[in-house]
Amino acid sequence: MLIDEYPTLSARETAHRVSSGAVSARDVIEAAFAALDKVEPTIHAFATLAREEAYETADALDRRIARGEPVGALAGVPVAIKDLVLTKGIRTTFGSHLYADYIPDADDIVVERLRAADAIIIGKTNVSEFGFGAHGNNLLFPATGNPWNPERSPGGSSAGSAAAVAAGVCPLAIGSDGGGSVRLPAALSGLVGVKAAMGRVPLWPGCRDITLPGVSGWESIEHIGPIARDVADAALMLSVIAGPDPRDRWSIPCSDVRWTEIAPLPRGARVLYWPTWHDQPIEQDLKDATDRAVALLAQACGLDLVVGAPPEIDVHATFSTMVALETDLTGMRRLLAEKPVPVCNAVSDLLSQSRPFEDATDAITARKAFVDEIAKVMSGCDFILTPTLSVTAFGKQEDGPSLIDGTPISAYEWCPFTSPFNLTGQPAASVPCGLVNGLPIGLQIVGPHLGDAQVLSAAAAFEAALPKIGRPPIHA
């Protein structure tokens, strides 16, 4: 019975059953791997599996429960970890031949906390190389397919995490978001993805590990967060992984947020809706569907809605410059000199560019200007709503689409809505808001500085008001 119902169980229900002794953690893990074995040959969500460790952890947890010992909030819940996040004793490749055989000797903080909460890690999920790219293909593993259409991408770079959750392999997965890499795959896979405010979820060693050449970087824009099938499960995972840590100089207290106590969204909330980003193109069917979803929410949730546009500051060039500034290019070049292996197009392009100091200072100045403008915007509203991205899922072998409704686009013009809020550090989430031609689309909710609780309130209210999209065709 558990194997049949497992793919639809929430993390909350799974943890309750395991901690109460209604089911064993081993039974849950057996169901998780049965689900994985059914869909993995089609979607290729995983880079490395951790079967032996998962069963050992489950058996140890079952013995503790039998002795009446207390257990954590995620007792027995199978969790997948993005292959950019370090896992002690489990291979972490960063999607690159450069680290194809690397096994960390330490966990990232979020993994430490998941283990302490008695979650069970079942494996590492596929990514674009070093997270450069909002897709799920690299030169090391097969490209990840979207459970809604396995020939399409689930988005990225947390591609495998989204595919695993959408297909019913696990109710929760860890993603990282340096420019939208939690929110984008959540949107394209029909899931909830949350980027908490900068510093709520600590990063270490992660992008700060200078002992890993080419890996460290993105310190001021990177976030780690949950990908889940509903808001309550995402909040549950945040309750475990959020909170300060002295090893992360950006980390901040969380005493102002009760993650699992999601308050009702007050009627009359002031909301700005930005249906486009400046003159960048968007699929008309996607825009129309998002417009309808926002109109429905305005009525159902009593929103004080104003349609507008973002500040006229070009932050996308700023974002790409900040990525270059915060990437260990010297270490990556040195590593490639020692170990000449093929790298993806995005890494090759970045290494071939030489950015003068003026570009760097211009980018830093433009970032400051955008942060200031958004602070002014937020003084007059409670939330900003946007489409999460401008297209539906594209081919899984592609780095992204080259056309939008027949209009040629340059790289990443198809996802203009997410990275600006990595520059500001504001909390943001993506929730499913419908299907377009059988493929999911997402609505992005952006809250004020440190407004994590408000974002979760809005996400839960919108989740309840919007029609459910159902399960994807490829599911366990």
Q: Which residue has the tokens 């370090």?
A: 86
Mean pLDDT in residue range 113-140: 97
* pLDDT at site 468: 96
Cα gap 205→182, rounded to integer Å: 19
- 62, 63, 66, 67: CA torsion to nearest 10: -140
Distance (Å, rounded) from C-alpha 277 to C-alpha 85?
31
Q: What is the pLDDT of residues 452-463, one digit of tens each?
A: 999 999 999 999
**Rounded CA gap, 283 and 434, in Å?**
14
Helices (H), ranges, 8-121? 11-20, 25-43, 51-66, 109-116
pLDDT in tens, 422-453: 999 999 999 999 999 999 999 999 999 999 99
Residues 24, 161, 181, 390: which is the catalytic one? 181
Residue 315 CA neighbour count, 13 Å, CB half: 28
Which is catalytic among the residues 19, 157, 239, 251?
Answer: 157
Q: Are strands 192-195 and 223-228 parallel, antiparallel or unpaired?
A: antiparallel
| Segment 398-423 mean pLDDT | 94
Whether 20 is catalytic:
no
Q: Please, which pLDDT band fits residue 323 given cuts at 50, 70 and 90?
A: confident
What is the dihedral angle through the alpha carbons of 42, 44, 50, 52, rounded to the nearest 10 degrees? 30
- State mean pLDDT over 260-288: 97
Min mean pLDDT across 51-60, 92-101, 319-328 is at: 319-328
Task: Band the pLDDT of 213: cuts 50, 70, 90.
Answer: confident
pLDDT exceeding 70 applies to what percent of the chain? Answer: 97
**Residue 398's pLDDT is what?**
95
User: Is the pLDDT at 350 greater than 80, yes or no?
Assistant: no
For 271, the token pair is 């909301």
Catalytic residue check, 390: no
CA dist., res. 374 & res. 386, Å (int): 14
Q: Does the pLDDT at position 355 exceed 80? A: no
Q: Note the pLDDT of residue 219.
A: 85
Collapsing DSSP to helix, strand or coil, 393 comes out as: coil
The pLDDT, as a whole number, for residue 358 is 61
- 2-465, which class in CATH? alpha beta
- Determine which one of 82, 195, 287, 396 is catalytic: 82
Separation CA 105–CA 120 (nearest Å): 18
Q: What is the number of other CB atoms lying within 10 angstroms of the CB of residue 2?
A: 16
Q: Is 38 part of the annotated catalytic residue set?
A: no
Q: Is the pLDDT of residue 207 over 70?
A: no
- Cα–Cα distance for residue pair 25/468, rounded to 1 Å: 30
